[in-house]
Amino acid sequence: MEPQARSVTEHVERVLALVAPLRAAAQDLEDALGSVLTEDLNAFVSVPPFDGAAMDGYAVRLADLPPDGSQVTLQVTGDVAAGPSSLTEVGTGQAVRIMTGAPLPPGADAVIPVERTSTGRFVAGAPRAEESVTLARQPRPHVRRAGEDVRQGELLARAGTELTAALVGALAASGTVRVAVRRRPLVAVVSTGSELVPLGGALGPGQITDSNGPMLAAAVRAAGADVVRLGPVTDDPEALRRVLDQAVRADADGAGADLIVTAGGVSAGAADVVREVLAAPGPNGPGVTDVDVATVAMSPGKPQALARWGGVPWLALPGNPVGAYASFELFARPAIDRLRGAEDSGRHHTPRAVPLVAAAGWSGSPGRLLVVPVRLVPLPDDVAGTTPGSAGVVPAGSHHSLSALATADGLAFVPPAVEKVRPGDIVQVLMLR
């Protein structure tokens, strides 16, 4: 099959057309971190659910405190701690000791912090000894009103939102116990090449350690999916077909891969096993369908292919480590986001990129999107239009070098129309740290 030439954006669109959001299921809130909501969530209860003390101190009636801030002495008639307790009404000329988070007793409408009273401080574990307290009106009431943070029925999160630790906390506070989310995708990562040795294996002549497999598996986990590592696979079509069958075959729990990501074997070499498998169905029938081989206008990462194996979407990435990683961020991560149901999947081919200033110049790659591993450095004072002491980016090394990728703070994307990046130019950078 003759490769089709296309832009990065066009290839993203082809990738996203291969995948669809996974089914939704109810899950306990505490187990759903990193999953994506499939429905809007509203607060079951208000936060806080009652008027409560924002400070340790004394619950009082503002009517008893002169507006001019002069001090008065009030009778101390009780204690209120956080948690269930009986609340004694605060009457005229009275005050009640109250701890942070405790409900405000009837009659009180303000809390005076203990450090601003004649008591000075409370001693942990010591019983109340004071019969009276001298205090004065303060600028703030130090009361958290019911519903001050969240009101019952208020929208807390929309469908398509990822559950972060902070959101889990907010939902828990408002009474959410279970949530409807899409399950985490299972991604099979397969590296190919007869020269590859599994991590930790002894190297023989002409062999190298498989780095793409562990790198892409880590990237899959970082993208919010689960991973099964298969390979490395030799440049043998039958061996690759067996591994692909293994990836899509349902396990004891009935789960096969939702997405296959391979690295290597997709170029135009005589031993490029992925291209060979894509071109022929094999002796046991057509495992591969919807084959789409492309040359994408990017460097590194030009050779790409898409297909389905056993009906499962398959993204074939190049073997160059920087090209493989850049391809994952540009193509595989949006596919995973769509499987997860993330609301921003595919909006742009670099949705998480931020604009940064080039602190040095480097050549572009006319006609291709150039992907450059970059490091953050202080900007020279002579870079026009920048603030002294601000940060810019410089190349971390060769854009084909794995060591440059390892030391990079981000990946800079230089558009195909740019022949040269000059100091002071704005470049889009996908931050890696």
Average pLDDT over residues 283-310: 89
Cα-based angle 187, 193, 195 (whole degrees, multiple of 5): 135
Domain that holds residue 241: 4-22+183-340
**Do 292 and 365 sit in the same domain of this protein?**
no
The residue ranking higher by pLDDT, 252 or 425, is 425
Per-residue model confidence as pLDDT tens digits over 393-405 = 999 988 778 899 9
372 and 246 belong to one structural domain: no
pTM summary value? 0.82
- Residue 345 placed within a domain: no
Residues 163 and 79 in one domain: no
For 11, the 3-state DSSP assignment is helix
Nearest-angstrom CA–CA distance, 25 and 418: 46
* In a shared domain, residues 333 and 363: no
Residue 150 counted as domain residue? no
Q: Are residues 210 and 326 in the same domain?
A: yes
The model's pLDDT over 124-139, given as tens digits with 9 standing for 90+, comes to: 888 888 999 999 999 9
Rounded to an integer, the average pLDDT of 305-309 is: 96
Please tell me the least confidently modeled range out of 77-81, 348-352, 384-388: 348-352
Q: Cα separation of 190 and 241, whole Å? A: 11
Q: Which residue has the higher pLDDT, 251 or 417?
A: 417
Looking at residue 174, which CATH number applies to its domain? 3.90.105
pLDDT at 286 over 90: no
Backbone φ and ψ of 124, nearest 5°: -55, 130
What local confidence, expressed as pLDDT, does residue 342 receive?
87
Same domain for 279 and 228: yes
**Tokens encoding 345:** 């999947």
Closest listed residue to residue 319, CA positions, set 431, 190, 219, 169: 190
Query: Is 252 a residue whose pLDDT tops 60?
Result: no
Cα within 13 Å of Cα(249), Cβ side: 9
Q: What percent of the chain has pLDDT over 90?
A: 82
Check whether residue 244 and residue 302 sit in a common domain.
yes
Per DSSP, the residues of 185-227 read PEEEEEEE-TTEE-TTPPP-TT-EE--HHHHHHHHHHHTT-EE
Q: Rg of the chain's alpha carbons, rounded to an integer?
A: 31
**189 and 231 housed in the same domain:** yes
Q: What is the pLDDT of residue 346?
A: 46
Average pLDDT of the residues in 336-364: 80
pLDDT over 80 at 164, yes or no: yes
Considering the domain architecture, whether residues 98 and 139 belong to the same structural domain is answered as: yes
**Whether 107 and 127 share a structural domain:** yes
Query: CATH number of the domain that 403 lies in?
Result: 2.40.340.10
Tokens of 190: 């397969």
Q: Per-residue pLDDT averaged across 298-325, rounded? A: 95
What's the structural domain count of the chain?
4
Q: Where a domain ends, among 95, 117, 144?
A: 144
Which residues are paired to 131 by β-bridges? none
CATH number of the domain where residue 101 is located: 2.170.190.11
For residue 335, being part of any structural domain is answered with yes
Considering the domain architecture, whether residues 234 and 163 belong to the same structural domain is answered as no
Residue 346 lies in a domain: no
Assess if residue 60 is contained within a domain: yes
pLDDT tier for residue 85 given thresholds of 50, 70 and 90: confident
Same domain, 286 and 301: yes
| pLDDT over threshold 60, residue 165 | yes
Is 347 part of a structural domain of the chain? no
Q: Does the structure show a pLDDT above 80 at 251?
A: no
